[in-house]
Amino acid sequence: MPQTPLHSEHARLGASFTDFGGWDMPVRYTSDLAEHEAVRTDAGLFDISHMAEIFVTGDKAADFLDFALVIQCSAIANGKAKYSLICNEAGTIIDDLIVYRLADDRFLVIANAGNRMPVVEALKKRASEFGFAGVEDKSDEFALLAVQGPNATSKLQKLTETDLSALPYYSIAEGNVDGVAGYFCRTGYTGEDGFEVLIPAESAIQVFNALLNLGIQACGLASRDTLRLEAGMPLYGHELTLDINPFQAGLGRVVKLDKPNDFVGKPALESISETEVSPVLVGLVGTGKRAARADYEIFSKENNLIGQITSGALSPTLGYPVAMAYVAKEFSELGTEVEVDIRGTRLTMTVVKLPFYKRSK
C-alpha cells in the first residue's frame, strides 16, 4: 500500500495503522477518545497527505470547472473556496471536493484519496471535450496536514507570520509555516475551527514535528471519523457513492441548476430534482451506549425493512449513539422513530436534523 511522507514518523510515535482508501494510514496513537477530545477541547494534528491535489490552470480554467462540476466555480472570489461535487452523466456522485481559487486563472481541487484516479480521469476527459489542457495532478508533490480545534489557530500562528485570524472560513492564502512555503486553507473535516496546511512533500517531517512541539496532539483516522460524524459530514464510500445522487444525500443545495452554462450531469440532475427521491439520508440518535454501525439494517415499527446505517458511533462528545443512514422517504421526517437491528437486538432511534454537534463560535 502507498504511504504518506510521514509514515516513519507515525511509526516512531507508536501509531496503529489501517488500510484507508488503499493507503497505509495511522488509525490511532493513544486512544480514540483522547484524540477526539483533544480536537474538541484544544487542538489535534492529522496527516491527510493521502488526499489528492489537482491544479487547474489557464485562461479558461473557471469556465472549464463550471462545465466539469456542479457549482459555479467562476463565481468563487480569489482566495476563497467552495464545497462541490463531481457527478457523472447519470447525476450520481463520483466524489465530493473542495475547490480553492488561487488566482483568476488558477484553481486547486482537493479530492478524496480513494477517488484520486476517478476524479483525475473524469476531469481530464472533460477537459479534452472542453478543449482545455490545464489539468495537473500534483498529489505526489504535496503533504497535507490538518490542524483542528478551538486552539488550532493560535497554536499554528506561532509558526507563521501570516495573520491567520484574518482568513475567513473557506479561504486560502499563501504563506510560510516553520519557514516552509505553502498554503493555509481554512477548512476542515471535524466540525471545529482550524486549517489544512499544504506544503511540499519533502518538508512534511519538519513541519509535522514543529506542530507536535507546540503541544498539538497527533490524531488518527478513528477520531477523525467520530469527529466528522458528530459534525454530520459525509464520507465517500459510506454516505456518498456512485449509486447516490446529491438530492438523496441532502446536497441538492450544492447543485447549481440555474448556472447559465451546461455542465456534466445537468439534464439528469434537473430530472432528479423534479422527483421525490428515496431513500434519503437522515441523522439518527438513540439512548444507552450501544452504537449502530455501518450496514446495520433499519426497520419500521411494523417490522418492515426501510433502510441501512451508513456511519454510526457512540458519540464521545454527546454521550449517546448517533448515526447517519439512508431510509425510505416516508420515514425521514424529524421525530420519526425507527428500529435498528444491532446483532439481533432492536435499538429505537429517532430521526433528527443534522449535524449532531455544532461548535460554539
The partner residues of 217 in beta bridges, in order of sequence, read 44
Quote the pLDDT of residue 145: 98
**In this structure, are 30 and 145 located in the same domain?**
yes
Cα distances from 245 to residues 88, 256, 278, 316, in angstroms, run 10, 14, 10, 30
pLDDT in the model for residue 9: 98
Q: Is residue 67 part of a domain?
A: no
- Give the single-character DSSP code of 207: H
Please indicate, yes or no, whether residues 197 and 309 belong to a single structural domain of this protein.
no
Q: Which residue has the cell 483525475?
A: 120
Query: Residues 331, 187: one domain?
Result: no
Counting residues of the chain whose pLDDT is more than 90, the rounded percentage is: 99
Same domain for 294 and 222: no
Number of domains in the chain: 2
CA–CA separation, 208 and 11 (whole Å): 14
CATH of residue 185's domain is 3.30.1360.120
Whether 225 and 283 share a structural domain: no
210 and 284, same domain (yes or no): no
Q: CATH no. for residue 330?
A: 2.40.30.110
Residues of the chain with pLDDT under 50: none
- Evaluate whether residue 171 is within a structural domain: yes
Structural contact between residues 233 and 192, judged by C-beta atoms closer than 8 angstroms: no
What confidence score (pLDDT) does residue 360 get? 83
Grid cell 425493512 is found at: 305
Same-domain status, 40 and 144: yes
Domain interval for residue 192:
7-48+140-230
Contact between residue 162 and residue 175 where contact means Cβ atoms under 8 Å apart: yes
pTM for the full predicted model? 0.97
Residue 254 one-letter amino acid = V
Per-residue model confidence as pLDDT tens digits over 243-264: 999 999 999 999 999 999 999 9
Does a structural domain hold residue 258? no
Tell me the C-alpha distance between 91 and 328, whole Å: 20
If DSSP codes are grouped into helix, strand and coil, which group holds residue 323?
strand
Q: Could you read off the pLDDT of 222-243 as tens digits, one per residue? A: 999 999 999 999 999 999 999 9
Enter the DSSP assignment of 333.
Answer: S
> What whole-number distance in Å separates Cα of residue 353 and Cα of residue 124?
38
Beta strands in 119-271 (DSSP E): 135-137, 142-148, 172-177, 180-185, 194-200, 217-218
257, 266 Cβ separation under 8 angstroms: yes
